[in-house]
Structure 1
Amino acid sequence: MNYFTADLHFFHEQLLKSEHFSPRPYTDLSSEHAGLQKVWNSRVTDQDTVYHLGDLAFLNKIKPAKKGYQQLLELLLSLKGQIILVKGNHDTRDLFKFLKNQHIILADGRPKFEFHDVGLIVKANHHQFFLTHYPLILGPTASSINLHGHIHHSQVPIAENINVGIDSEDLEYLTADQRPAWGMPLSLEEIEQILIQKHNRLSTK
């Protein structure tokens, strides 16, 4: 199965205390990392693929840089499944190069990591999903959906733009019993529900 998420911001301690973003339900990095690992692995299997749409980690405070890359690698290896990484504004090409050079292969022969600088298209459920970090404005469309991150607890007021970030306001289109645990990657079914509810709500305004 395919799952989608964005803006994990591993190692970004300042984000836990920021007044400019939706508060995260953790007060320290070790608790947040353990919580994100738990919800990820409770849903994702080693046969699944998770698309992470940018801002995987914030490693600026860790010196030398390779030490931060190694710590992040150890964390990522604790997460099940294949991880497809779209570059966000906090992700560096040096980080992606480091991860690629580890040549980690899953038991089924797939690489653990794949990398995209700008984005990619996934076709499913009669939709074309444009996967990017920054929101795209596609214009009127019958079948194209932009899944993105970057804007945290905000949303683009267009139904076909869905923010899949872990602190996204678009998650509020799911009812309490539909909403996954905080930080859990989203399924296509949950994204379809967000699309329907967002379209219905915006069409009544």
Structure 2
Amino acid sequence: MADVFFISDHHFGHKHIIDFESRPFGSTEEMTETMIAKWNAAVGKDDVVFHLGDFSFLNKEKTSAILGRLNGTKTLIMGNHDRGRSRTWWLDAGFEQVSEYPIVYGGFFLLSHEPMYMNKHMPYVNIHGHIHGQKYEGNQYFNVSVEHWDYTPVSFGEIKKRVVPSEEHG
């Protein structure tokens, strides 16, 4: 059975993100190769990955080459840096599915690029990216930006362990 993973904010090809987020890479090439290796070490060929935005700053040819090297079936929820390109551009580059808007996963998880407004009475968890190394307080937010997960996609099982009380696991 396929596993499901979540990740965001790779910023492939974005030189300045290394300094902006104090990423431990000497170049965009080192960042790209390390992030591809970490993705493929976690994600199998038949697994599913939801990328929650800000995937690549590169042209379509280079973006497609990276996507072709990454394991799994890949869905993009477009981030603020992805929206300058059309949904079709991202599909042509190699994502199997692309959404311009947040989606509900598993009836309980709101997948979005930017954190969504959530109050304590809402029965959902917002899995998001966008804020990189920052973190929202509370169990209703789960940041999957690469900086929080050693540049590795995080499994749905791991997310559920951290946000759903243990007696609800089943």
TM-score (norm 2): 0.87
Partner residue of 1:79?
Answer: 70
**Number of aligned residues:** 163
The answer to whether the aligner puts 1:183 opposite 2:154 as a matched pair is: no
Partner residue of 1:200?
Answer: none
| Structure 1, unaligned runs of 5 or more | 60-67, 105-111, 172-181, 198-205
The verdict on how the C-alpha distance between 1:142 and 1:98 changes in structure 2, with shifts beyond 3 A counting, is closer
Identical aligned residues as a percent: 26
| Structure 2, unaligned runs of 5 or more | 166-170
Partner residue of 1:203?
Answer: none
Partner residue of 2:99?
Answer: 116
Measured on the aligned residues, the alpha-carbon RMSD in Å equals 2.0
Q: In the TM superposition, what whole-angstrom CA distance separates every residue of 1:133-165 from its partner, at most 9, and x where no partner exists? A: 010122224741100000111111122111111
CA–CA separation in structure 1 for the residues paired with 2:62 and 2:85:
15
Which aligned segments of 4 or more residues in structure 1 are displaced greater than 4 angstroms? Answer: none
Rg (Cα) greater in structure: 1
Q: In the TM superposition, what whole-angstrom CA distance separates every residue of 1:171-201 from its partner, at most 9, and x where no partner exists? A: 5xxxxxxxxxx1110012221343269xxxx
The answer to whether the aligner puts 1:98 opposite 2:89 as a matched pair is: yes
Q: In the TM superposition, what whole-angstrom CA distance separates every residue of 1:40-66 from its partner, at most 9, and x where no partner exists? A: 11111121110000111124xxxxxxx
CA–CA separation in structure 2 for the residues paired with 1:96 and 1:74:
18
CA–CA separation in structure 1 for the residues paired with 2:84 and 2:108:
27
CA–CA separation in structure 1 for the residues paired with 2:67 and 2:86:
13
Partner residue of 1:128?
Answer: 108
Q: CA deviation at 1:69?
A: 1.2
Partner residue of 2:168?
Answer: none
Determine which structure has greater relative contact order: mean sequence separation of CA pairs < 8 Å that are 6+ residues apart, divided by chain length: 2
Q: CA deviation at 1:98?
A: 2.2
The question of whether the paired residues in 2 share the 8 Å contact of 1:69 and 1:95 is answered with: no
Q: CA deviation at 1:27?
A: 1.1
CA–CA separation in structure 2 for the residues paired with 1:51 and 1:87:
11
The question of whether the paired residues in 1 share the 8 Å contact of 2:53 and 2:113 is answered with: yes
TM-score (norm 1): 0.73
Equivalent positions of 1:132-147 (< 5 A) are 132-141=112-121, 143-147=123-127
